[in-house]
Structure 1
Amino acid sequence: MKSIIIAVLLCIELIHANSDCPKIITRNRWGARTPKETHTITTPVEYVIIHHSVTPTCSDEDACSKRLISIQNYHMDEKHFNDIGYNFMIGGDAKVYEGVGWSKEGAHTKDWNRKSIGIGFIGNFSAEAPPYKQLSIAKKLIRCGVALGEIEENYKLLGARSLRPTDSPGDALYKAIQNWKGFVRSP
C-alpha cells in the first residue's frame, strides 16, 4: 500500500512540474526537414546556452515557421550540420519552436553540444533585447527542462560568447540573461 501511495504522489508531482511547460510548436508543424542523422545526449545536461539567430525577427507562427525553415536550410546546406543547430528557438510571437528537441545533440556551440541545451532567439538582439514575453517563455522552457529531468536543477546558463568567439546572443540579450537563474560568465 505504501508503494502505491508513493507512486501516486510521484505522478502528481510530475504532472504538477510539467504544468509549467510551455506549448512547443513541433518540427512537423513548422515544416522541418528530416535530419541527416540524430545523436542522443545524456541528460540531465549541466548547461543552457543562449544564442540569437542574427536574422530578422518574426511576429506570428507563419512568419516564424518560414524563418525556421530558412535557418534550418542554412545550417544543413551551407554549414553541413545534420539538422537545425538549436534544441529550441524562441520566436517573436513568444512561442517555443522545437529544433532538435530534448535529449538530442544540437550543433549550436562546438565542443559543448553533448552537454548542453541550445536555445536560440529568432532575431538580432545586439542593440535591443527581446520583448518581455519572449524572455519569459524562454525562462519557462528552462524550468520545464528542469522539471522533465532534461536539465540539471543547478544548471549553468551561458551566452554563446562565453564559449566561442562570437557576438551571440547580442549585447542587449546577453545583458538581459545576466539576471536569470544560473547565469555564469564562464563555465
Structure 2
Amino acid sequence: GRELPPPGVSSEHQPHPLSPAQPLLGLPPAQPGSPFAPLLPAAGAAASRAGSRPGCPRIISRRQWGARPPRSRVPLRTPVPYVIIHHTAGNRCTSQASCIQQVRGIQNYHMDTLRWPDIGYNFLIGEDGNVYEGRGWRTVGAHAKNWNYKSLGFSFLGNFSSRVPNTAALNAAKSLIQCAVSKGFLRRTYTLKGHRNVFATSCPGNALYRVISKWPRFKAKP
C-alpha cells in the first residue's frame, strides 16, 4: 500500500508515483485566445518574466500555461543545496501547445487524484525547448520525500527510460540550473541528483540518468 506520511506532514510530500499517461490524454487542444493556454510568440521573442534574467531559458509562466491556483503553499528557504532531476514518465511533447496540455494534465492529476495543493514539480522541461513554471523558485515542491525542503525539482516531460531527451530539452535544463544559481535560488556549490538517488524509484529513467550523471556537480550518494 501507499506509505502514509509521518504525523504533521502532508501526504503531498510523499514521493509521487510515475505520472500515468491517462491524465495527460483527452485534454482539449489549446485554442488561440484561450485563458488556459495562451501561446507565446515564436522562439526568439522576449522570455516571460519568470525567466527574464539573461542566461535563463525561456520560461512559460503559470499564467501563460493556464495553471489553476494552488490551494496552499509553503515558502522555500533559498538558496537550496540540491537540484533533483525527474521525468514524468508520460507522453513526449515537442510543441508548446502539446507541452501545455501535458503540464495541465499533470497538475490536474496531482491536485484531483493525489489531492495535493498544486503540481508537484518546481519546473518542467519540454522537448519544445521551453521550461514550464510549476511551483516556481519560492515554493516547497512535492517531488522527493525528505528532500522537498532543501531542493528544487526539475522534471523532463516524457518517458526517458530507453531514450534521451532531445538537445533542446537538455540545453534548457542545463540553462535552468545556471539560471537558478544566477538568481540566487540554488547554491553555487549545489549538488545535482537524480530522483533514484534519494528514493527507491526508476525515475528519471535509465537513459536520462546516464546523461545527467555526467553533468557538473552530479553526486549519486549523499
Q: Same fold (TM over 0.5)?
A: yes
- Matched residue SS, 2:149: helix
- In structure 1, distance between residues paired with 2:195 and 2:221: 10
3-state DSSP of counterpart to 2:106:
helix
Counterpart for residue 161 of structure 1: 196
The alpha-carbon deviation at position 45 of structure 1 amounts to 0.3
Say which of 109, 119, 128 aligns to 1:93. 128
- Residue 23 of structure 1: CA displacement? 1.9
Q: Does 1:67 align with 2:125?
A: no
> Which residue of the other structure, out of 54, 58, 62, is the alignment partner of 2:93?
58
How far, CA to CA, are the matches of 1:165 and 1:75 in structure 2? 20
**1-side partners of 2:141 and 2:119: how far apart?**
7
Aligned to 2:169: 134
Q: CA deviation at 1:53?
A: 0.2
- Show CA shifts across 1:73-119 (max 9, x none): 11111112110000000011010000000021110111111100000
TM-score (norm 2): 0.75
Alignment: residue pair count: 170
Query: Post-superposition, which runs of at least 4 consecutive aligned residues in structure 1 deviate over 3 A?
Result: none
Aligned-partner residue type, residue 55 of structure 1: G
User: Which residue pairs with 1:43 in the alignment?
Assistant: 78
Alpha-carbon distance between aligned partners in 2 of 1:76 and 1:186, rounded to the nearest angstrom? 32
Question: Percent same amino acid among aligned pairs?
Answer: 47
CA distance in structure 2 between the partners assigned to 1:170 and 1:120 by the alignment: 11
Q: Name the amino acid aligned to 1:118.
A: G
Q: Which amino acid aligns with 2:143?
A: H
In structure 2, what is the Cα distance between the partners aligned to 1:23 and 1:40?
A: 24
The structural deviation recorded for 1:34 is 0.7
Unpaired runs of 5+ residues, structure 1, are 1-17
- How far residue 22 of structure 1 moved from its aligned partner, in angstroms, is 1.4
Q: Equivalences for 1:167-178 in 2 at 5 Å?
A: 167-178=202-213
Q: Distance in 2 between matches of 1:111 and 1:82?
A: 18
Report which of the two has the higher share of helix: 1
Pairwise CA RMSD of aligned residues? 0.8
Counterpart-to-counterpart distance in 1, 2:101 and 2:166: 20
Q: Distance in 2 between the 1:109 and 1:91 partners?
A: 20
- State the 1:120 CA deviation: 0.3
Unpaired runs of 5+ residues, structure 2, are 1-52
TM-score calculated relative to the size of structure 1? 0.89
Secondary structure, aligned partner of 1:49: strand
Alignment-mate amino acid for residue 155 of structure 2? G
Partners of 1:115 and 1:103 in 2: how far apart? 12
Is 1:22 matched with 2:73? no
The C-alpha deviation readout for 1:33-73, integer Å capped at 9, x for no partner, is: 11110111110000000000010011111110111011011
Could you say which residue in structure 2 is the equivalent of 1:79?
Answer: 114
